[in-house]
Amino acid sequence: MRLVIYNVRYGTGTGLSYHLPLPFSGSLRRSSRRFEDIKDFLEGLSPDLIGLVEADGGSFRQRGICQAEVVANAVGGESRFAVKYGNGLSKLPLLKSQGNAIISKESPIKVTCHDLGRGMKRNALEAEFKGFSMVLVHLSLGRPSRRHQIEELRKICSSRKGPMIIAGDYNTLSGPGELAPLMKEGMSTVNRGGIPTFPCRKPRKELDFILVSPDIEMESFFVPRTNLSDHLPLVCDLKISQTERGKS
């Protein structure tokens, strides 16, 4: 199974022009043309499962079209989208279209959105498939909130029996050591060389992770160099065992 994790920044691009004429004004760009390139790039990777972080659910930027649906149609799959903010912010204009999405060729058995309790970006999207589950995250920039969110993810992890993937943009600004609570639950990173993923042109920080349980084997892993977003994507081929981890 090929898994791709990519923070696509809503298809609004990157570079110095993103902050002109005002800082972060690029977040208001029309994105449909730029996202065509992202869609073509993802389609070329022949993925079975995709986690899109910072996906546009259908704002004016994307002319009312959900980016996850665009990718799902291209790869021959289906999509599940969730706004990443808590209830208060999730109803505001533009923010209600900003979220994360899981795209899969296999239909999920169940989809759940977990509220991680703290931070603006606090929703974790979980899709359960036959034989494994995947949680997609975009964690808080604030260290105290992020610590709380990682503890909530640890609780989710400890409650699952079978193979599990927890992936996304963790915003681990202090380094991968922040993920120790998840590692103690038996999760491990497929990026064994610690290849940095941010910023795209001169990567220095490892912010994006694919964590897997012991019953999932990493067969291959690479980080493509592309400037379609401010983050680099993660691409991993996985082999999933049907054994259970022995937790209830």
Q: Does the pLDDT value for residue 246 go beyond 50?
A: no
pLDDT at 219: 97
* Chain CA centroid to CA 143, Å: 19
Q: Does the pLDDT value for residue 244 go beyond 80?
A: no
Helices (H), the chain: 32-44, 67-75, 143-158, 180-183
Fold of 2-238: Deoxyribonuclease I; Chain A (3.60.10)
pLDDT at 243: 56
* pTM of the complete model beyond 0.85: yes
Q: Give the Cα separation of 219 and 17 in Å (integer).
A: 38
**CA distances (Å), origin 188, targets 37, 83, 146, 169, 227:** 31, 27, 19, 15, 27
Average pLDDT of the segment spanning 229-235: 97
Average pLDDT of the segment spanning 58-85: 97
Confidence class of residue 87 from pLDDT cuts 50, 70 and 90? confident
pLDDT at 37: 97
Q: How many residues does the chain have?
A: 248
pLDDT tens by residue, 149-196: 999 999 999 998 899 999 999 999 999 999 999 999 999 999 999 999
Q: Does the pLDDT value for residue 248 go beyond 50?
A: no
pLDDT tens by residue, 213-225: 999 999 999 999 9
What are the sequence ranges of the domains in the chain? 2-238
